[in-house]
Amino acid sequence: KLYDKCLKLDTRYATEDELSLVHSKEYIEIIKSTEKLSEKELRKLSNKYDSVYLTRETFSAAKLAVGNVLQVVDSVLTDQCLNGFACVRPPGHHSSRTKASGFCCFNNVSIAAKYAINKYNKKRVLILDWDVHHGDGTQKIFANEDNVLYISLHRYDFGDYFPQSIQSNYNIGKNVVNIPWNGGPMTDSEYMLAFFNVILPIAYDFNPDLVFISAGFDAALSELYI
Within 10 angstroms of residue 92's Cβ, the number of other Cβ atoms is: 28
Say if CB 82 and CB 5 are below 8 A apart.
no
Alpha-helical runs (H) found in the chain: 2-5, 16-19, 25-32, 39-46, 58-77, 108-120, 136-141, 188-194, 200-206
Helix (H, G, I), strand (E, B) or coil at 18: helix
CA-to-CA dists, residue 72 to 64, 92, 134, 157, angstroms:
13, 16, 24, 34
Cα Rg of the chain, angstroms: 17
Catalytic residue among 23, 93, 94, 133: 94
23 is an active site residue: no
Diameter of the chain by CA atoms? 52
Element (H, E) at 210: strand 210-214
Contacting residues for 52 by C-beta, under 8 A, at least 6 apart: 46, 100, 101, 102, 103, 104, 105
Q: Which amino acids are annotated catalytic? A: 94
